[in-house]
Structure 1
Amino acid sequence: MTVSRTNFAWATLVDVGGRGRLHDRLAHALRTAIRDGRLAEGDAVPPSRALAEELGCSRWVVTEAYGQLVAEGYLAARVGSATRVSWSPEASPARPRARRSPARPRIRYDLAPGLPDLRAFPRRRWADAVRSVIGSAGHYDLDLPDPAGHAVLRTTLAHYLRRSRGADADDTSVSVCAGVTDGLVRTCRALHGLGITDVAVEDPGWRRLHDAVTSAGLRVHHVPVDHDGLRVDDLAATPARAVVVGAAHQFPTGTVLSPARRAGLVRWAREVDGFVVEDDYDAEFRYDHHPVAVVQGMDPGRVFLLGTVSKTLSPALGLGWLVAPPSTVAALRSANPVAAAPPVLDQLALATFIDRGWYDAHLRASRRRFRTRRDLLLTTLSTALPRARTSGTAAGLHVLLHLPPDTDTHATVRAAASAGLRLVDLDDYRVRPAPDRALVLGYGNIGDTEIPAAVALLREALTR
């Protein structure tokens, strides 16, 4: 029997099978549930009339079982109140408990990259968007979702990407996905279906992109990145016919792909009859001038474009987009026949959020906040750690902190964690070892007032 009600322990499975009188079997089932801890001390059992109806028996059976358990001390009955469990397994001889793993140190300050300012999530306006959708959505919107995404959001995203990122997109080329990783997996499956077996990724780079490529059954080739971005000459020396690249703001180096290499990348794709997969994960955040337009606009027939709101709003929304070259749309659909689109109501809420100008307003406020926070972090680091230097374009949500060559960055990360500070070593994103020692410092999800204390802990960790 399974029943659900907030104030009663009705979700407990009561097995009254077997031989014997029904009220004895019911008492035995409830007694076992109490002894096993499935019914805890203080839990209310169902009213006798309701439980009798569920079991298809007379109310007398239930009252007899309850009376027996009251007499044994397992239940307590009070006039005008629910009958409740009055016995706890803790009263019986102690049972051996499983050993607990050591508790992780409490993190007070988070300088790891990858998150926006979760405190600044626009709760009220997002709630307004959700309420608007709930009130206006037609019954047909509540049907099984289109695997490519709702037409309203695809149209909205195409317009947004054309005006804000210089993309060449329309509703037929846009698919809604759960984020960059999901979009990349879908893309790699389509590339595999088109006969491409080798894909290049940046080194250093986000390891989940590597994992997404291999999960689609493709071979990965790592191409180094320098101060001008991906080294296209090294790319040409690999057998890859597709490459995943962060052109507007590479992670984790923070470089921007130079104009010459942007042109060279497109030329390479044409020469090998291949594709570029552009990861545009946080390009909306540029602090010294307007963000550069996407490479996809230079050759929409050769470039897939991936984007997400995980770095602008919150990863909890699980919303992203994929713009595919027109010639690959059919292959993309057929290669991902069971790919699930995000919930339709969330898709429509995002479309409303963008259409009403709230997304642009949020981005403007975020850029001001992150520019100020980045400046504060750089100033604090230069004062506290004069032997270190920072690098990375004035963009995104992280900087690189280069440390003296004799620094043990692994030990620094461990020491900081024990003091309550989360850090990430640049080596965590490398495939090939490199001599320089550096940390990847994220400033998206740390408050301005927390930065001095966080840097002070960093300095202490470096001196241990």
Structure 2
Amino acid sequence: MTWHVMLEVVRDGPVPLGAQIADQLRHQVERGLLTPRTRLPSSRQLAEDLRVSRSVVVEAYEKLTGEGLLESVRGSGTRVAAHADTRIRKPVVLVDRAIPPVRFNLLPGTPNPVTFPHREWTASYQRAVESARWQGLGYPPLLGVDQLRSELVSYLGRVRGVLGSPEDTMVTGGFAHALGLVCGALRELGIDRLAVEDPSHDRQRQFIEENGVRTVAVPVGPDGLEVEPLYASGVRAVLVTPSHQFPLGVPMSPRRREELVRWARDTGGWIIEDDYDGGLWLEQRGRHLALQPTGPDRVIYAGTASKLLAPGLRLGWMVLPPELTGLMERVRVRRDLGCDGLMQLAFADFLRSGLLDGHLRKMRSRYRAQHGALTRAVERFLPAATLIGPVAGLHVFAALPEGADEEALVARALGLSVLVKGGRVFHDRPHTARPGLVLGYTALGRSGVEEAIRRIGQAYDQQPGGASWAS
């Protein structure tokens, strides 16, 4: 294998050639251009590339090895030292602090990477590569490759009840990408405010605002989003999670769905349906289909593979009212040139082969067992909490007694190596909301879920400073 780095030397300058090579390599390591464990060319190869003596390169390599920036590994040549990472890194932010390393991660929304169907996905991707023509290797259509749009319409119709056509289906790079496009389309329509559920995902609200659209919080009741405040707000667009409300988990009732669609038709408004974990209904009966078929002319349906397979795939989709398809294409052409064609062809094969159906069948069985373990653990170790909503998705909301110190409980659980998110952060006015915990239970095994809840129960039972958790 021939490795290459970007170096230049000045032969008639005052600085010796070896020092020039060492200085440039040192600069690239310090800037992070050469990352830890990066292989460097052999001294013979680099000497040939720069047309200098091999001894000059050996001298530079030895100097940097002595400084601890490079290391020589038998059988692997010279590489940047594993510890030579001088870049300043920004932490990944969780609310207002970095995500700490913990033993038990109960953050919601992430499937267990162990469950990813590696063999089946690899087979689909290989078939996609082998059969790829121009659609897979060239710039893909803005709406997405034909094969995937056709498969999505078929799959969403039989599994989620969605009504649509390939011509009005758009493939995106996940839901955030889709939401950004929707915000752009709303602005084109003269709509600068978007109603959101209260509670809802805090980062989603921030994302919408950063895309130039103001958010208006509308309360969620036992039947889903309250429609009367929606009328009163005067907004002309609303974002909802009707099948499994995030974070409370309550499904929108059939009556409330009809009222919401009636609002859209009365006001000329638009409904954006985020079906973020559609297909992961875990109860044997009472499965809720998508809202979209209740009003396909007013609902923008959006889904994603992030919860079904893995967020790293960056695959999402929208089924659009025909009236909006052209507008959405015009908005998109100013932003990007479409999504990875080979990834789309692989996912089309995954759908066509029934592999996604088989994978989700296994996941529902696995998650059902984990949810059962969570329920039993809460009953045993955290009996003051009340679990809300049906058995569905990748999380459950645990309501705490009024007056419980949610923030202190979350902090004390972290001290016991359990990372869990409180429920108040998802509310528009956190200080007025009932305390609770949003428990993601799919990233751990059943024994891990039980131990995590036991530790949260231990944190809840502790009385710091002689004061009880609930006043």
TM-score interval w.r.t. the shorter chain? 0.7 to 0.9
Aligned to 1:30: 21
Per-residue deviation, 1:19: 2.5
Matches within 5 A, 1:52-451: 53-55=48-50, 57=51, 61-63=52-54, 65=56, 105-288=100-283, 289=285, 291-337=287-333, 338-433=335-430, 434-451=432-449
Compared CA separation, residues 329 and 387, structure 1 to 2 (3 A): same
In structure 1, C-alpha distance between the alignment counterparts of 2:371 and 2:266, rounded to whole Å? 40
Per-residue deviation, 1:31: 4.4
Moved more, 104-113 or 296-305: 104-113
Identity %: 33
Unaligned runs of 5+ in 1: 76-80, 91-95
Q: Deviations over 1:31-70 (max 9, x none)?
A: 435776959999876444x445423x4xxx5146358779
SS in 2 for 1:28: helix
Unaligned runs of 5+ in 2: 67-73, 92-96, 463-471
Compared CA separation, residues 104 and 156, structure 1 to 2 (3 A): closer
In structure 2, C-alpha distance between the alignment counterparts of 1:215 and 1:190, rounded to whole Å? 15
In structure 2, C-alpha distance between the alignment counterparts of 1:157 and 1:441, rounded to whole Å? 30
Largest Rg, 1 or 2: 1
In structure 1, C-alpha distance between the alignment counterparts of 2:63 and 2:148, rounded to whole Å? 62
Compared CA separation, residues 393 and 336, structure 1 to 2 (3 A): same
Moved more, 438-447 or 65-74: 65-74
SS in 2 for 1:237: helix
The alignment's C-alpha RMSD in Å is: 3.3
Per-residue deviation, 1:113: 0.8
Moved more, 140-149 or 66-75: 66-75
Compared CA separation, residues 345 and 263, structure 1 to 2 (3 A): same
Per-residue deviation, 1:408: 1.1
In structure 2, C-alpha distance between the alignment counterparts of 1:204 and 1:170, rounded to whole Å? 33
SS in 2 for 1:172: helix
- Residue pair 1:223, 1:234 contacting (<8 A) in 2 also: yes
- Residue pair 1:176, 1:321 contacting (<8 A) in 2 also: yes
Moved more, 27-36 or 328-337: 27-36
Moved more, 346-355 or 280-289: 280-289
Compared CA separation, residues 451 and 276, structure 1 to 2 (3 A): same
In structure 1, C-alpha distance between the alignment counterparts of 2:382 and 2:108, rounded to whole Å? 20
Per-residue deviation, 1:27: 2.4
Compared CA separation, residues 332 and 36, structure 1 to 2 (3 A): closer
Q: TM-score, normalised by structure 2?
A: 0.84
- Residue pair 1:18, 1:25 contacting (<8 A) in 2 also: no
Per-residue deviation, 1:211: 2.7
In structure 1, C-alpha distance between the alignment counterparts of 2:428 and 2:186, rounded to whole Å? 24
Counterpart residue identity of residue 317, structure 2: W
Compared CA separation, residues 99 and 140, structure 1 to 2 (3 A): closer
Q: Deviations over 1:205-232 (max 9, x none)?
A: 0123323332332221100001110001
Per-residue deviation, 1:442: 1.1
In structure 2, C-alpha distance between the alignment counterparts of 1:42 and 1:173, rounded to whole Å? 45
Is 1:16 matched with 2:18? no
Per-residue deviation, 1:16: 2.7
- Residue pair 1:269, 1:302 contacting (<8 A) in 2 also: yes
Per-residue deviation, 1:119: 1.4
Q: Deviations over 1:328-378 (max 9, x none)?
A: 111111122123433111111111001000101111111111111111111
- Residue pair 1:26, 1:62 contacting (<8 A) in 2 also: no
- Residue pair 1:279, 1:305 contacting (<8 A) in 2 also: yes
SS in 2 for 1:444: coil
Counterpart residue identity of residue 172, structure 2: C
Q: TM-score, normalised by structure 1?
A: 0.85
In structure 2, C-alpha distance between the alignment counterparts of 1:71 and 1:303, rounded to whole Å? 65
Moved more, 376-385 or 287-296: 287-296
- Residue pair 1:421, 1:457 contacting (<8 A) in 2 also: yes
Aligned to 2:70: none
Q: Deviations over 1:234-265 (max 9, x none)?
A: 11110101100111110001111111111100
In structure 1, C-alpha distance between the alignment counterparts of 2:58 and 2:186, rounded to whole Å? 69
- Residue pair 2:46, 2:57 contacting (<8 A) in 1 also: no
- Residue pair 1:45, 1:83 contacting (<8 A) in 2 also: no
In structure 1, C-alpha distance between the alignment counterparts of 2:403 and 2:342, rounded to whole Å? 53
Counterpart residue identity of residue 309, structure 1: A
SS in 2 for 1:13: coil
